[in-house]
Structure 1
């Protein structure tokens, strides 16, 4: 587990938050994340980054606050993958004020239900049906007409130390004695996938060492495995390519979708977003990076 006083660089903070370097500098300049300097190098403590994440989640998680957006011409895209930052920037270039909220899939859908965001990203797997997203949309947005649009497909699997010394190749292997898990926070798509797989195995989560160790973001759990503070974590393939000292064990292809209320689907911001998805420019940019299957980008997967 990372120490609270552990020093992080701008790049490490950007990766944890899944934002660009300029966003980190902006958060520092606005006083939203504390920082300090070692010589001429800017540094952040892990505790201060986690404090910022916790404040952000609180700001998006209470029932008493006003909706984030009053004007439909302002536009909030909710989710944690860096592809959403790029999409938001493209939307902003069309003249729409495009904003970002960095929270997990479960909370994103509840914020969409409460009109706090206009677009929720989701990669929630339902173990009963084997489907992604639609079963959760039906439960978390009851009687709300929505459109589900594909963004990308990603591969989910295990982050393990180089060489996979514990021999972890399947969900059942998590139940081996002596395996230490590093978990994601409640509501994250990877956490829901893990919980569903454990449930289908008929196992108790408490039987897995480290199940209660919760960490924000794919990069944070991957880094903890790389540093030997856990044996395994669940996350996406893309992040595994960015962290030295780990291997990736592919287990399940996930569908990463965008969810929009039907009443907003014909507004200028959503039309701008759909135009970008259908144009191919975002598809080309991320297909070249690897770790993303963009074959269905912009395709309507479900209308409810």
Structure 2
């Protein structure tokens, strides 16, 4: 196996990229512009610099990156295309960990340089709106800003982290009005306790099938995925989307084995979309925002509520109050509304658990108890 060393830079100026390396940026620019000079202009570099750098990389890697035909547009070689594909795959799969590293650095310097800053640790099921919220929160105030230390993990692991004191807020999601016998109820009910936990409203979002552009296989349901044998890519055990998938399979009367690829998983919506975009899978379950960001097709299947949970004791702590206040600002509500497939839902409000997780019916339980005690 050939060993390749690429040195990456964490940068606030990386645009949509979380980390930067000049080689894949140059390869991408050449692929888009069709010439070395065009690539150099798009990167703000000189022709000589880009040409020389690519030649040095070819020497170090032992393979041709660019087809250097005279009088012809520059094209990536097969090796160059594969190298760019591999780098995209790696970044998509590592995106949650890289985002967590960004958050670690921001938290460290926030504490070091701003004694009035609020730092809130949040473990959450992967969600693009939370990433946008983190950036919005950091930029929303000069003094006393709210810094969100977000660790993306499965919904189950997020609530466990909350219960074990490793975070202040846990993000998880369920179908709207999940039934008492649902997979969600069986999964989350043992982890949440009325009186101990509080639910803060956050978002309404859509999940569905992430498919190739134009949906060439004609996939409109999980039954279609099973019938066609389309290559499916799943989310890990313990993730909220895995819980949702099992719920939808049960509703459709399908076993998990009906999906070719049920046991293959990717760590985030972004990685699922990248797997489909790269042709490594035909379909996966994810949010529309991740699909549209990569020019993929999206077939809506389910409407969800994304919840933020905290312990009752932390509800009035300064950092939690700062988050609740921020979530209710008109500016944030407008920004969330602009995200494809998202809408604010009781954003920042403290909600009754029986309202959003209706497998708990406290009023009925009290009435039944009173009836039994009546002589």
With structure 2 as the length reference, what TM-score do the two structures score?
0.61
The residue correspondences of 1:217-228 to structure 2 (distance < 5 A) are 217-228=268-279
Distance 1:152 1:132 in 2: 21
Q: Which has the higher strand share?
A: 1
The structure-2 alpha-carbon separation of the partners of 1:278 and 1:50, relative to structure 1 and needing over 3 Å to count, comes to: closer
1:141 deviates by 3.1
Match of 1:64 in 2: none
Partners of 1:280 and 1:258 lie apart in 2 by: 19
Alpha-carbon distance between aligned partners in 2 of 1:52 and 1:163, rounded to the nearest angstrom? 26
Does residue 1:256 correspond to 2:256, yes or no?
no
Alignment of 1:78-89 (within 5 A): 78-79=123-124, 80-89=126-135
Within the alignment, does 1:24 sit opposite 2:11 as a pair?
no
Match for residue 77 of structure 1?
122
How far does residue 51 in structure 1 lie from its aligned partner after superposition?
6.7
- Note the C-alpha offset of 1:187: 2.0
Measured after TM superposition, the shift of residue 144 of structure 1 is 6.1
Q: Distance in 1 between matches of 2:146 and 2:277?
A: 40
Q: Which residue of 1 aligns with 2:323?
A: 273
SS at match of 2:297: strand
Which of 268, 286, 293 is matched with 1:235 structurally? 286
Measure, in 2, the Cα distance between the counterparts of 1:232 and 1:213: 12
Runs (5+) with no aligned partner, structure 1: 15-19, 29-34, 58-72
Query: Tell me, what secondary structure is at the counterpart of 2:210?
Result: strand
Gaps of 5+ in 2: 25-52, 58-83, 101-117, 355-375
- Does the alignment pair 1:188 with 2:234? no
Deviates more, 1:274-283 or 1:286-295: 286-295
Contact conserved, 2:89 with 2:275, CA < 8 A, in 1? no
User: Is 1:205 the counterpart of 2:250 in the alignment?
Assistant: no
Match of 2:105 in 1: none
CA–CA distance in 2 between the matches of 1:171 and 1:285?
32
Aligned partner of 1:179 in structure 2 is 230
Are the counterparts in 2 of residues 161 and 226 from structure 1 also a CA contact under 8 Å?
yes
Which has the higher relative contact order, 1 or 2, with Cα contacts under 8 A spaced 6 or more apart?
1
Q: Distance between the aligned counterparts of 1:233 and 1:6, measured in 2? A: 30
Which has the larger displacement, 150-159 or 278-287? 278-287
For residues 116-165 of structure 1, what are the alpha-carbon distances to aligned partners after superposition, in whole Å with 9 as ceiling and x for unaligned? 11111111349644889777543213466111122111111111122322
Deviation at 1:253, TM superposition (A): 0.8
Larger Rg: 2
Deviations 1:227-254 (A, max 9, x none): 322221111111121012x211111111
Question: Aligned partners of 1:166 and 1:86: how far apart in 2?
Answer: 33
CA distance in 2, matches of 1:96, 1:140: 28
1:123 touches 1:256 (CA, 8 Å); kept in 2?
yes
TM-score (norm 1): 0.73
Inter-partner Cα distance in structure 1 for 2:183 and 2:137: 26
Instruction: Assess, with a 3 A threshold, how the Cα gap between structure 1 residues 302 and 133 changes in structure 2: closer, same or farther.
Output: farther
Partner residue in 2 for 1:100:
150
